[in-house]
Amino acid sequence: MTQDLVVFKGTQNGVYIYIRDGNFELIKKELDIKLEKSNSFFKGGKIVDFKGKSLSDDELKELKGIVKGKYKLNIIEKKELKPKDFFKGIEEGMTKFVKTTLRSGQTIEYDGNIVIFGDVNPGSMVVAGGNIVVLGNLRGVAHAGSDGNRKAIVAAFVLQPTQLRIANLISRRPDKVTEEPKWPEIAKIEENEVIIERYLPKK
């Protein structure tokens, strides 16, 4: 089964366009086809932002050109987030508990913390305004601190994501790593880079 490269997600603020990893020419083609089919649905609505795959400035410009130029849809320009806009419940706050394994193509998004009792399989995505904790294997895409909070963390029993992102920083585990870690691991930002280390509880 072929996985969609472009997915529309409706929120109270408007529609987000999720872009999954894949060939950029195919992404553009799929976006064009889906907007053409759904043009009447989007008419008068607002596209909030693009999420998911990390896009270059040129790629983002091309996608916005399709949305705004060809289909005349409004895009809400993202304003720079200030600290007061961050989700502050990193230590304690709103938390969504997900008691299932995420399969390829599934996405979980929440403004607060997310705790998953299960695995996050390749092709799936977890996006949280706060922390992400996976009581299982994390092998999909994880984006913690999605509103810009650099104090957010990502933790899992097995931390082997296809892409890991905290705030605006992206990290990938080196390709040469093949063995599963023997202990839970935690990813966090230190000195302007994402580091992954073994989780050692304080005694």
pTM here is: 0.60
What would the pLDDT profile of 27-83 be if each residue is shown by its tens digit?
A: 999 999 988 887 666 665 667 678 877 788 888 889 988 888 888 887 776 544 444
* Under-70 pLDDT residues of the chain: 1-3, 10-14, 39-46, 48, 77-86, 172-181, 201-203
Query: What pLDDT is attached to residue 54?
Result: 77
Query: What pLDDT is attached to residue 127?
Result: 93
Give, in words, the CATH class of 83-198.
mainly beta
For residue 158, which phi and psi values (nearest 5 degrees)? -130, 110
For residue 84, which phi and psi values (nearest 5 degrees)? -70, -15
Sign of the CA dihedral with 82 first, then 88, 91, and 96 last: negative
